[in-house]
Amino acid sequence: MLRSAVERQFEIIGEALSQLYRIDSDLVASVPDARRIIAFRNILIHGYATIRHETVWGVVQSDLIILTRRIAELLQSP
C-alpha cells in the first residue's frame, strides 16, 4: 500500500506540472528537472509493468527534498 501511495503522489505531482506547463511554461522551467518529473509520471501511468520499485524509492530518497524545497520557495515568492 505504501508503494502504491508513493507512486500515486508522484503521478499527481507530474500531472500538476504538466498542466501548469500549459499555463505558465516559464514557471515550470524554474522547477529543477520538471520535464523529467513529467516523464516519470508518464512512466508510472503508462509503463506500470516496467516500473522498478528501487528507482521510485531512489527518487524519494534523493530527489524529493530538492523538489520540495524549490516548490516551497516558489510558494513564498510574490
pLDDT in tens, 5-23: 999 999 999 999 999 999 9
Please write the tens of the pLDDT for every residue from 30-76. Answer: 999 999 999 999 999 998 888 889 999 999 999 999 999 999 999 99
Please write the tens of the pLDDT for every residue from 21-34. Answer: 999 999 999 999 99
| Domains in the chain: boundaries | 2-76
Where does the pLDDT of residue 77 fall: very low under 50, low under 70, confident under 90, or very high at 90 and above?
confident
40-48 contacts at long range (C-beta below 8 A, 24 or more positions apart): 40/10, 40/14, 41/10, 41/11, 41/13, 41/14, 41/15, 41/17, 42/14, 44/7, 44/10, 44/11, 44/14, 45/11
